[in-house]
Amino acid sequence: MNYNKINNLLGWICAAIATFVYILTVERTVSWWDCGEFIASAYKMQIVHQPGAPLFLMVENVFSNFAMGDVTKIAFWMNVGSAVSSGLTILFLFWTITALARKIFVGPDRLKELTSQQLFITMASGAVGALAYAFTDTFWFSAVEAEVYAMSSLCTAVVFWAILKWEVRADEPGADRWLVLIAYVMGLSIGVHLLNLLVIPAIALVIYFRKVKESTSAGILKSLGIGVVVLGLILWGVIQYSIKLAAYFDLFFVNTLGMGFGSGAAVFALLVIGGLVYGIFYSIKKAKPILNIALLSVAFILFGYSSFAMIMIRAKANPTLNNSDPDNAFTFLSYLNREQYGDEPLFKGRFFDSRPTDMTEGKKVYRKDGDRYVVAKRTSDYTYDKETLFPRIYSEKNGHPTYYRDYLGLGPNDSPTFADNLKFFFGYQVGHMYGRYFLWNFAGRQNDQQGQGGNTEGNWISGIKPIDNLLWGGQDALPTSAKTDPSRNTYFFLPLIIGLIGAFWHFNRRQRDAGVVGLLFFFTGLAIVLYLNQTPMQPRERDYAYAGSFYAFAIWIGLGVLAIADFLMSKKVNAKTAGLVATAAGVLAGPVILIAQNYDDHNRSEKSLALDMAKNYLESCAPNAILFSYGDNDTYPLWYAQEVEGFRTDVRVVNLSLLSADWYMRQMMEKVNDADALPINIDPQLIKDGVRDVIYYNDYNIPGYVPVEDLLKVMLSDNPQNKAQLQNGEFVNILPTQKMELAVNKDVVIANNVVPKDWESNIVDTMRWTYNQRYVSRAELSMLSILANNNWKRPVYFTITTPEDNYMGLDRFMVSEGFAYRLMPVDFGLEEGDPSAIENVDQIYDNIMNKFSWGNIGKASYIDPDSYRYISMYVGSIFGQTAQQLLSAGEQEKVKNLVNNAYENMPKRAFLMSEVMSYVSLVDAMYKVGEVDKANEIVGRNLKFIRENMVYYEAIAETKTNLELRNMRFGLASIQRYKQVLDETSQEALKKEVNDLFNVYRHYFEAAGQ
Q: What is the pLDDT of residues 191-233, one digit of tens each?
A: 999 989 999 999 999 999 988 888 898 999 999 999 999 999 9
User: CA-CA distance, 116 to 96, in Å (whole number)?
Assistant: 20
Q: What is the pLDDT of residue 962?
A: 66
* Ramachandran angles phi, psi of 455, nearest 5°: -80, -10
More confident residue, 645 or 106: 645
E runs forming strands in 45-121: none
> pLDDT per residue over 260-297, tens digit each?
999 999 999 999 999 999 999 999 999 999 999 999 99
Shortest CA distance to 581 belongs to which of 594, 595, 596, 567? 567
User: CA-CA distance, 809 to 770, in Å (whole number)?
Assistant: 6
User: CA-CA distance, 132 to 14, in Å (whole number)?
Assistant: 10
> pLDDT per residue over 917-954, tens digit each?
899 999 999 999 999 999 999 999 999 999 998 888 88
Helix, strand, coil % over all residues of the chain, rounded to 5: 60, 10, 30
Rounded mean pLDDT of 726-752? 90
Shortest CA distance to 474 belongs to which of 41, 968, 863, 956? 956
CB atoms within 10 A of CB 217: 7
Q: What is the pLDDT of residue 416?
A: 92
User: CA-CA distance, 302 to 294, in Å (whole number)?
Assistant: 12
Rounded mean pLDDT of 33-42? 95
Q: What is the largest CA-CA distance in the chain?
A: 98
Rounded mean pLDDT of 856-870? 90
Rounded mean pLDDT of 427-432? 93
Q: What is the pLDDT of residue 838?
A: 86
Q: Is the pLDDT of residue 959 over 70?
A: no
User: CA-CA distance, 69 to 352, in Å (whole number)?
Assistant: 53
The one-letter amino acid at 796: V
User: CA-CA distance, 536 to 632, in Å (whole number)?
Assistant: 19
CA 368, chain centre distance (Å): 32
Strands 739-743 vs 706-707: parallel, antiparallel or unpaired:
parallel
The helix-helix angle for 35-44 and 54-64 (nearest 10°) equals: 70
User: CA-CA distance, 278 to 1006, in Å (whole number)?
Assistant: 85
Q: Is the pLDDT of residue 87 over 60?
A: yes
Cis peptide before 51 (omega within 30 of 0): yes
Write the CB contacts of 152 (distance below 8 Å, at least 6 apart in sequence): 189, 192, 193, 195, 196, 547
CB atoms within 10 A of CB 432: 20
Work out the percent of the chain whose per-residue pLDDT is above 90. 74
The one-letter amino acid at 687: I
CA 551, chain centre distance (Å): 21
Strand partners, 767: 742
Cα-based torsion angle of the residue sequence 461, 465, 466, 471 in order, rounded to the nearest 10 degrees: 30
Q: What is the pLDDT of residue 729?
A: 75
> pLDDT per residue over 792-838, tens digit each?
999 999 999 999 999 999 988 999 999 999 999 998 876 655 556 78
Please give the DSSP secondary-structure letter assigned to residue 743. E
Shortest CA distance to 451 belongs to which of 865, 141, 35, 857? 865
* Ramachandran angles phi, psi of 966, nearest 5°: -65, -45
> pLDDT per residue over 650-705, tens digit each?
999 999 999 999 999 999 999 999 999 999 999 999 999 989 999 999 988 899 99
CB atoms within 10 A of CB 636: 29
User: CA-CA distance, 781 to 765, in Å (whole number)?
Assistant: 23
Strands 814-816 vs 838-839: parallel, antiparallel or unpaired:
parallel
3-state class (DSSP) for residue 975 = helix
Write the CB contacts of 1008 (distance below 8 Å, at least 6 apart in sequence): none
E runs forming strands in 656-784: 694-697, 706-707, 723-725, 731-735, 739-743, 766-770, 775-777
Q: Which DSSP helix (H) or strand (E) runs through 372?
A: strand 372-384
Number of H helices, E strands in the chain: 43, 19
User: CA-CA distance, 822 to 634, in Å (whole number)?
Assistant: 16
Shortest CA distance to 371 belongs to which of 262, 254, 288, 451? 254
| Cβ atoms of residues 99 and 114 within 8 Å | no
The helix-helix angle for 309-316 and 329-336 (nearest 10°) equals: 130
Work out the percent of the chain whose per-residue pLDDT is above 70. 97
Mean pLDDT of the chain, nearest integer: 92
> pLDDT per residue over 328-356, tens digit each?
999 999 999 887 777 788 889 999 999 99
3-state class (DSSP) for residue 52 = coil
| DSSP collapsed to 3 states, 738-788 | CEEEEECCHHHHHHCCCCCHHHHHHECCEEEEECCCCEEEHHHHHHHHHHH
Strand partners, 734: 696
Strands 766-770 vs 775-777: parallel, antiparallel or unpaired:
unpaired
User: CA-CA distance, 429 to 423, in Å (whole number)?
Assistant: 9
Q: What is the pLDDT of residue 160?
A: 96
Q: Which DSSP helix (H) or strand (E) runs through 821?
A: strand 820-823
User: CA-CA distance, 319 to 927, in Å (whole number)?
Assistant: 53
Half-sphere exposure of 693 (CA within 13 A, CB side): 7
> pLDDT per residue over 564-619, tens digit each?
999 999 888 898 999 999 999 999 999 999 999 999 999 999 999 999 999 999 99
The one-letter amino acid at 757: K
DSSP 925-966: HHHHTT-HHHHHHHHHHHHHHHHHHHHHHHHTTTT--HHHHH
Q: Is the pLDDT of residue 963 over 90?
A: no
Q: Which DSSP helix (H) or strand (E) runs through 579?
A: helix 575-587
Q: How confident is the model at residue 440 (pLDDT cuts 50, 70, 90)?
A: very high
Shortest CA distance to 559 belongs to which of 38, 74, 76, 130? 130
Give whole-number Cα distances, 126 to 55, 86, 499, 962, in Å: 30, 16, 13, 45
CB atoms within 10 A of CB 709: 15
Angle CA 76–79–83, to nearest 5? 130
Phi-psi region of 621 (alpha: psi -120 to 50; beta: other; left: phi over 0): beta
CB atoms within 10 A of CB 990: 19
